Amino acid sequence: MVQKKNKKVYILAGNWKMNPGTFAEAKKLFAGIDKQTSKASRVTTIIAPPYLYIARLKGKHVSLASQDMFYEEKGSFTGKISAAMLLDAGTKYVIIGHSESRKLGDTNQSVNKKVHAALKTELTPIVCIGEEIRNDDGHHLEFLRAQVAESLWGVSKKQMEKVIIAYEPVWAIGGAIAMSPHDVHEMYLFIQKVLRETWKGISASTVPVLYGGAVDPTNAAAIVNEGQVDGLLVGRQSLVVESFASIISILNEL
């Protein structure tokens, strides 16, 4: 996370997925979020709209992200978009390895290629990890360890300073019950442990870890405060100006 005058600056990313249905709606929504963000000096707000809207959305206070990208620079790849194209369109961040993309074929290996392509082009990758189910025997922890290690294989310690990790338990995405703040904190500590073991000497402040999954204005403060994560990745609530503005305000006042 960013530090300003010893105060933590939280990261709040909104993933619009395949919404809203028209650019007029997107423009109005984006403008409302941008206005609220102007009042929040302790929140870095990021919005990931559909590809078609990225180059057309303009704001003074909100950064743009892509919901995905392809790892090749150019060529015969119908329907794909490169990191350089996204950067040229005004994008600063890119979500990589979201569970919905993994369901459509993304693997740790393809995620890894995308991460390297993003870093090469100076986009900041928001790398998503998350288990589908939790096991009493802890198998889900090894699953997550593999996701981190394989998705970020070959990334140098210096490059890790440009990486954001978003932990989204798949079972909590899409309106289900959010993970408890206590469990969020345990997973935060586990992810940081994996990072320290994989990149020797890396500090907890180097790689921000976000939580995503059924976040709303009623649980955002507890998840961030008690969970001690560095921010949030929000889906459905980022499509409602009032709800997302409320989360921005909550993080700004923590």
Residue 168 appears among annotated catalytic residues: yes
Amino acid letter, 179: M
Secondary structure class of 234 (helix, strand, coil):
strand
Pairing of strands 63-66, 93-96: parallel
Q: How far is CA 245 from the centre of its chain?
A: 18
Query: Are residues 216 and 245 in contact, defined by beta-carbon separation less than 8 angstroms?
Result: no
Give residue 3's pLDDT.
46
Residue 61 appears among annotated catalytic residues: no
Task: Give the integer Cα–Cα distance in Å for 88 and 84.
Answer: 6
Q: Which of 100, 116, 131, 168 is catalytic?
A: 168
Give the number of other CB atoms < 10 A from CB of residue 66: 25
**Top CATH class, 2-253:** alpha beta
Give residue 177's pLDDT.
82
Lookup: tokens for 100: 């919905």
Secondary structure class of 164 (helix, strand, coil):
strand
Per-residue pLDDT of the chain (254 residues; tens, 9 = 90+): 444 445 799 999 999 999 999 999 999 999 999 999 998 999 999 999 999 999 999 999 999 999 999 999 999 999 999 999 999 999 999 999 999 999 999 999 999 999 999 999 999 999 999 998 887 777 899 999 999 999 999 999 999 999 999 999 988 876 668 899 999 999 999 999 999 999 998 988 899 999 999 999 999 999 999 999 999 999 999 999 999 999 999 999 99
Sequence-distant (≥ 6) Cβ neighbours of residue 23 within 8 angstroms = 52, 53, 56
pTM greater than 0.85 (yes/no): yes
Give residue 5's pLDDT.
45
30-87: per-residue pLDDT in tens?
999 999 999 899 999 999 999 999 999 999 999 999 999 999 999 999 999 999 999 9
Q: Determine whether 87 is exposed, middle or buried from the number of CB atoms within 10 Å of its CB (0-12, 13-18, 19+).
A: middle
